[in-house]
Structure formats: C-alpha cells, structure tokens
Amino acid sequence: MSKATKAMVDVMARNLMNYAMLAKNHKDELNDFEKKHFAGVGTRGGTEVTPK
C-alpha cells in the first residue's frame, strides 16, 4: 500500500470513529455533521455510515 493510500485510510478511519461517537452522543447534530464531512461520499459501496 502506498503512503498516500495509507494516509487516506487512516484519515477515513479517524473520521468514522469520530462519527460513531457523535452518533452516540448527539443524534440531533448528525445532519449538520453529515453535510459538512460526508458531502458527496457514497455509503452504498462499503459500510453504511448513517444510523437509521
């Protein structure tokens, strides 16, 4: 794995962990967070990020 790819994966993993913590603590703030940080990111291809 190239360094660039590894860095990207690390950043994504960190974002997902932050997202999970937000989902637990601030359900009402999720929409704002989603618009800012997941704009244009499709969740169909991998794990579903949005709690239903």
**28-45, pLDDT tens digit by residue?**
565 666 666 665 555 554
* Residue 9 domain flag: yes
- Domain residues for the domain of 19 are 1-27
Q: Which residue has the higher pLDDT, 11 or 22?
A: 11
> What SS3 string covers the chain?
CCHHHHHHHHHHHHHHHHHHHHHHHCHHHHHHHHHHHCCCCCCCCCCCCCCC
Residues composing the chain: 52
Q: Is the pTM of this model over 0.95?
A: no
Distances (CA, A) of 43 to 1, 11, 30, 31: 23, 16, 15, 15
Chain segment 19-30, per-residue pLDDT in tens? 887 777 666 565
Q: Count the domains in the chain.
A: 1
Half-sphere exposure of 33 (CA within 13 A, CB side): 17
pLDDT at residue 50 in the model: 57
Q: Which residue has the higher pLDDT, 16 or 52?
A: 16
* Residue 4 domain flag: yes
